[in-house]
Structure 1
Amino acid sequence: MATSQYDQFLQEATAPAPDAGSDSVLGRDSLYGVYTSWCLLSQSVPRPEDAFWAAMRQKRIRPGRTRLRMKGPAAADYILSSYPGVV
């Protein structure tokens, strides 16, 4: 069975947060932002936000309760593009 774009994104750019209540869990905007950064880096076309969230719901990932944190190159790209004053 082929791995979907969303499965690949979740595997490469996210990891379970050590503590579900921690500040490191991704909110709605951040998770989609990391996804778009991952798409840019992997040369994939990002799907519209409504399609992204429909796919996340199928994977039982809900906005605001993701229990995920970002990792890898997509995380770095997202942080640098979101906070240009960091560099």
Structure 2
Amino acid sequence: MSATHFDDFIRDAINSDPGSDKGLSSEELFGLYTSWCLLTECPSESADSLWRALIGRGIIPGKNALAMTGPAAADYILSSAPGLV
């Protein structure tokens, strides 16, 4: 995953949520990433590549104070709970 690709994903789809005591799980981060890739028409990388990129930027899946944001968040949430539509 190129630095620009990952930085764009972080900027567009993830926000810091200092009040969060749970953060985003590995499954949520990968689902959000997949939705972001589909919406931006950017080829997705493997889960292992995503984890390496996240950890390299100090983001630990499941142990963070992050929240979803933007169109990718809406897409992920709606695709995860089709009964909401």
TM-score, normalising length: structure 1: 0.89
What is the root-mean-square deviation in Å for CA atoms of aligned residues?
Answer: 1.5
- 1:77 aligned partner: 75
Query: Secondary structure of 1:4's match?
Result: helix
| 1:31-73 CA-partner distances (Å, limit 9, x unpaired) | 1110110000000011000011011110011111121100000
- 2:64 aligned partner: 66
- 2:36 aligned partner: 38
- The alignment covers a number of residue pairs equal to 84
Query: Secondary structure of 1:19's match?
Result: coil
Instruction: Give the Å deviation of 1:80.
Output: 0.6
Aligned ranges 1:6-45 → 2 under 5 Å: 6-21=6-21, 23=22, 25-45=23-43
Unaligned stretches of 5+ residues in structure 1: none
Percent identity for Structure 1 against Structure 2: 43
Unaligned stretches of 5+ residues in structure 2: none
